Every structure is written in structure tokens, then in C-alpha cells.
Structure 1
């Protein structure tokens, strides 16, 4: 059973929170009191003294999340801002998927925790709600739920971070979700490019069903926009897979006459599609995004999901 939440203003909350400047009067964060001695198996106490730093503009996952300063080292034991940016960048595409209303709240509570005298960890049930809602999306990209976010290491009650409406589903009942790699918005393309290992422009020759996946066979002519893990021998007979995509809608695979921007990564021996867009020259927004891609500097790719 979920514990009751304590809301802003902070003067009504336990003394632990008195040092916090109210995030916003209608913040998406709620804090519950935590007696650390009740959680001896929780995350380790820092060795390096924590400091408060401004959340930089290029930390896309959490910039503008509702507060301006973060605690470093953070609650994932990242000690430098460069390390935080590397790791956090891989999660931006998941937030774009809206798999759960509190995905960003949960992740930012760990990557960019609010500056307090004592660290406040997310509630275990919040972790479980986000995990259960987002794991199917992550599996579509070949990612498991990472060990660093194992939910049973977070507190169950007393002092922990909650979020309003955390248990609500992101999709209305009865809605058939689009295959995750097929529902990217144009304004999120650069984030998905950065989180993918390779990017190509190509046409699709044929699409087949293979078990629970869709097997996507490409035309011979391909243009590599981001080489990543692809090798020349891979490009010659490159076959891609839409994981768990046998039955979900993907309009891009209904018309094989178009050129497509396809993003992906290699999982075991398969090349998995992480994003697919029609190469739409008629779209001003798409043309601008492709132009920006030439000079866009991505964070160093880090596979944090092992």
C-alpha cells in the first residue's frame, strides 16, 4: 500500500526538508520522510563530500525538470558532470516515449537529485510502477531493465520521493500502442540518433514476420550517416529486426516506396531498429533536423543497460 504523500509548502514537512527551496508551488515532486537506519541495505553513503551544482542546459534528461540545482555525486555514484551527461543521455529517448507519467521524475531523482542535507531516494513502489510500464518499451529496443535501477534497493516508506498520479497508465484503456521505434516525433530525432549506435538512409525491400519480430530486408543501396558498430561486411547484407513488432502498428512499414532514416543498435547477433522515419523532404522541420545533425555533438555513447 502506498504511503501518504507530503506536499509543498516545505515548512509543513519534517525538518530534513527545511533547507530545500520550494521547487515550484505546483511541483511534480512529493517528499516522504526517511529514517536511513531503517534501510541498511540501501545505497551506500558517499565518500566524496557532495556539492550543489547548476543543472546544465545540455543535460537534456533533467534540464527544466522543476528545479535548478543538483547534488553531486548523485545517487548513482557518478562523481563528475561529464559522467552524469554520458549516462543520462541514453535515457532521453525513453522519456520521449511517455511509457509512464513519472519516468522523468524517477530518473532525475537519481541522476540529478535535489540538493538537501541528506539524499532522498525514490520510493520503491515508484520505481516498480515506472519499471513495469517502461520495460516493454525497453525490450523493443533490446534493453533489459538495468541492474543499477533494481527496485528492491529503494525504501518502501517513511522517507522517499513520490510523484502524484505515479500509478496512472500513460495510455488510455483500449489504445493499441504503436511499435516504439515507429512513433518518434521529429523534434526527438537528434536524441534518438545520439542514443543509437548506427544511422542509415535507405529503402526497404521486404518485411517478413519472424516469430514475434518483424524482419526488415533492405535495398542494396544504403547511405551511412552514423557508422557506429556497423562494419563494411554488415552493410552488404544488412537485415534489421523490429523487436516484438509482429503485431503492433508501424505505418512506416506499410509503404515500401519511400526512403527512410533508420536508427539501430546491435544486440547479440541481431541489428535492432531503434527508430524509423520517412525521409520527408517536404517537411521543413525534418530538413532542419537533418541539417542540425551535421554539426550536432552527441554525448559519448554509453551502454548503461547491461
Structure 2
């Protein structure tokens, strides 16, 4: 009875995983002959641990316990949280309805007798939906998530329709201009600021088209919100680029009278625009975020998008 109870509990966890939605998709768990041997050899025995509330990437995924070490070779919860934090903004972008399921299958895998990897189909659909968004921020699809590493068959987590690659975009979102989206609220905005290298308050002086990008020239007067690695000499004549944004709608860049919260990061020799939001003193929510930011400690992590 004891082993039957454990098996029932694990199947319940599995059903929760496969039922979780970032839209309204269905998942299936398939058993087939053969097994996937692309995983690692663990330095210590895997164990089931509770998913902590501050593991924001996965604490709402639909199950409460995860396997540690996980499937990305993270052996401590501190390392999991450190690495997972940089993926939270991508999930908030809703680039594909299955992004959270795919990432959490690796960062916080459901507890089973053996590791269960996402199917290659799931990786490919998420990659195809999200890589254009990542490229807009100067990030390539990372080597650690190369889809060829995952099983095509056998035991794996898969979308029911493996050829479905469409991404669903909520009202107000645009796949072409993700830094211009206005969806950010509370913790999501804090995560976006933390994921950006710097953030500041400024007005826009001029917007030009340069090849397929938009060149955003800021007015001289600026106030730092997050200094990051931005040097004083860079700040004086700061120019940012909206990658592949020459023809995309961006309401913020049409109004040069407003002050904005502007986020960015440096890629090669360019500063990329990673977020732009109206500096709205009349918004209680915005004021609350700015107040919280003063004492908010961003997670320290090595960027997993490299």
C-alpha cells in the first residue's frame, strides 16, 4: 500500500504538470520503448523538494515539488533561483503559451522515479515562438537549450499537437516590438528592471530609422534608476536602438513630451532598448513599484541567455 500511495501521488503531480496552461493547451505524457540517455550523471542522489515561493519562474506552474538536482545540472536551490530568475521576463512576454511549462520541466522538473525531459517538439515550438523576442533584446537562443538535445520519442513531456508553432498574443502585445509592450505590472516590472543592465528616467529628443532598427536619442537630462554598468561618458549622449523595430508600432516613441522609464543593456557596441514605460506619477501602481525599487534587491545571476 505504501508504494501504491507513492505512485498515486507522483501520478497526481504529473497530471497537474500536464494540465497546467499558459493559454489553453493540452499535454500528454507518453511511454514508449527505449529511453532517453541524454541527461547527466548526478553528483548526489536526486531528491524531491518543495518549490519555494521566491522561485518565480515556476512557483505557479501547477505542482508543488520538484527534483533537485534539476535537469540543467543545478545542484542547489540557490543556484536554481539564481539562474531561473533571468527567464521570468521572457515568460511575461507571452511569446508562446508553453514557455513556462517547457522551462520548468528543466529548472523545476516534476518528481518521478526517473528524470522526464521535454520532448524535442515542445522545445522547437517554444524556440520558434520566443527566439524572435529574445533577438529583439540581443539574446540568441542559448546553447543549453539546443532542441536536438531532447528526445523525439520515448518518455517525454510533449504538446498534443507537435506541429503547432503558433503563438497567441494577448491584447496590447506585439511580437515585433516587445520593448514597447505596456503589460508590465508590479513584480513583473521589477523583474524587467533587474533583467536589464540599467534603467533611467528621461525624455526622448529624437527618433530616427537606421536600417531595420529605430534609433532613440534621449534628451541630455536624465535620472538614474539603476546604474548597472553604464558609464558617465555613455550616459551623456546615450542613444538606444530598438532592434528590428523600423516599421513596428510603438506608441511611446510617438510622444516626445512624456517622461519615460527606459531600460536597456549593452550588446557589442550598441545600447539596446529593453523596455520603455510612461513615467506616470498619477498611477498608484507605478508609484508603488518605484517606492519598492528603492529597497528591492535584484537577484544576482549569471546571464543564462549567453
Given the two structures, how large is their TM-score scaled by the length of structure 2? 0.88
Q: CA contact under 8 A between 2:133 and 2:175: conserved in structure 1?
A: no
- Could you say which residue in structure 1 is the equivalent of 2:23? none
Deviation sequence 1:238-269 (CA, Å, 0-9, x none): 11111111111110001010100011111111
Of 168, 171, 185 in structure 1, the residue corresponding to residue 168 of structure 2 is 171
1:95 is matched with 91
Q: Which residue of 2 aligns with 1:158?
A: 154
TM-fit CA distance, 1:293 = 1.1
Which residue matches 1:186? 184
Q: Does 1:234 align with 2:234?
A: yes
> 1:101–1:168: 8 Å Cα contact kept in structure 2?
no
Q: Measure the CA separation in 2 of the matches of 1:18 and 1:266.
A: 50
Matches of 1:153 and 1:116, distance apart in 2: 20
Deviation at 1:22, TM superposition (A): 0.9
Looking at structure 1, the residues matched to 100 and 124 of structure 2 have their Cα atoms a distance apart, in angstroms, of: 14
Please state how far the C-alpha of 1:184 moved relative to its aligned partner. Answer: 3.8
| Residue of structure 1 equivalent to 2:50 | 54
Change (3 A) 1:78 1:39: same
Q: 1:67 to 1:274 in 2, by over 3 A?
A: same
Q: Quote the offset at 1:288 in angstroms.
A: 1.1
Structure 2 unaligned spans of 5+? 21-26
Task: Describe the shift of the 1:252–1:178 C-alpha distance in structure 2 as closer, same or farther (beyond 3 A).
Answer: farther
**Cα deviations across residues 112-166 of structure 1 (Å, max 9, x unaligned)?**
0011110000000100000011000000000000000000010001200124567
**Cα deviations by residue, 1:210-238 (Å, 9 ceiling, x for unpaired):** 11110000000011111111011111111
Map 1:30-41 → 2, pairs under 5 A? 30-33=28-31, 38-40=35-37
Decide whether the 8 Å contact of 1:34 with 1:160 is kept in 2: no
Residues 5-44 of structure 1 aligned to structure 2 (within 5 Å): 20-23=10-13, 27-28=19-20, 29-33=27-31, 38-40=35-37, 42-44=38-40
1:76 aligns with 2:86: no
Q: Which whole-Å CA distance do the structure 2 matches of 1:102 and 1:27 have between them?
A: 11
Query: For residues 230 and 147 of structure 1, what CA distance do their matches in structure 2 show?
Result: 27
1:285 positional shift: 1.1
- Partner in structure 2 of residue 249 of structure 1: 249
Q: Give the Cα–Cα distance (whole angstroms) in 2 for the partners of residues 176 and 191 of structure 1.
A: 20
The equivalent position to 2:107 in structure 1, one of 89, 107, 111, is 111
In the alignment, structure 1 residue 133 sits paired with structure 2 residue 129: yes
- Cα distance, 1:177 vs structure 2: 4.0
Contact persistence 1:177–1:248 (CA under 8 A):
no
1:93, 1:184 → 2: CA distance?
Answer: 13
Kindly tell me: are residues 34 and 220 of structure 1, through their superposed partners in 2, closer, same or farther at Cα, counting changes over 3 Å? Answer: farther
C-alpha distance 190-150 of structure 1, shift in aligned 2 (>3 A): same
Question: Structure 1 21/297 Cα, relative in aligned 2: closer, same or farther at 3 Å?
Answer: farther
Secondary structure of the residue aligned to 1:292 is: helix
Matched position secondary structure for 2:235: helix
Aligned in 2, Cα 1:211/1:127: closer, same or farther, shift over 3 Å? same
CA distance in 2, matches of 1:50, 1:39: 17
- Deviation at 1:33? 2.1
Q: How many residues of Structure 1 are paired with residues of Structure 2 in the alignment?
A: 288
